[in-house]
Amino acid sequence: MLEKQKGFIGPIGDDLPSLIPLLFGLMIFFSTFTLTFNSFDQKTASFQYDLDALKIAASLRGNNYVYDYPQFKSLCDSIGVQSLSFRAGIAALSPSADETVFNVEFLKDGPNSAGANTYVCPENPPELKLEGSQNKKIVSKVLPIALQQKNSSGTSIIVPARLVVIAWKVIQQ
């Protein structure tokens, strides 16, 4: 008797046309969910790079007053952030309009040109090359500090300066 009905495929066959849009809708839902989750992970990683760079800057800044190089070196040695490569240093306040974060004096001469009293952290910093920066996440922080120096007569003076921290991480594409 069922063989005589035209268009009858069976109990599952009649529901097949209604299952196709349902499966297509589920596929769109889960692919959108996956895309959103991946985007969230990327933003979270980006925020983590910013937080790590801020931890480095806060460790070096201390109480905003650097009185000598051994104190700065001890602050540099206390940095516990291992997830980023970084270079940090103290730069004088400059009225020059063409000076940028990447153009400060401790970055100009290369990674190993620091003198005995140049405030650079770490002492043998990794080299930062901006040529291949498409696959790098670069974060910079500039904080004001007070730096104690000796003038020509040997007395101590306090000068305003800035702590420049440049941190980067190579991102896998």
Name residue, tokens 């620091």.
Answer: 114
- pLDDT tens per residue, range 31-77: 999 999 999 998 888 888 888 889 888 888 888 888 888 888 888 88
Average pLDDT of 16-29? 89
CB 56, CB 82: distance < 8 Å: no
pTM of the model: 0.68
pLDDT band at residue 131 under the 50/70/90 scheme? low
Q: How far apart are CA 110 and CA 112, in angstroms?
A: 6
Percent of the chain with pLDDT over 90: 11
**3-class secondary structure, 50:** helix
Q: How far apart are CA 61 and CA 79, in angstroms?
A: 11
3-state helix, strand, coil in the chain (%, to 5): 40, 25, 35
- pLDDT tens per residue, range 103-123: 676 666 554 444 445 788 887
Task: Tell me which residue of 60, 78, 56 sits closest to 147, measured CA to CA.
Answer: 60
pLDDT band at residue 2 under the 50/70/90 scheme? low
Domain boundaries in the chain?
38-170
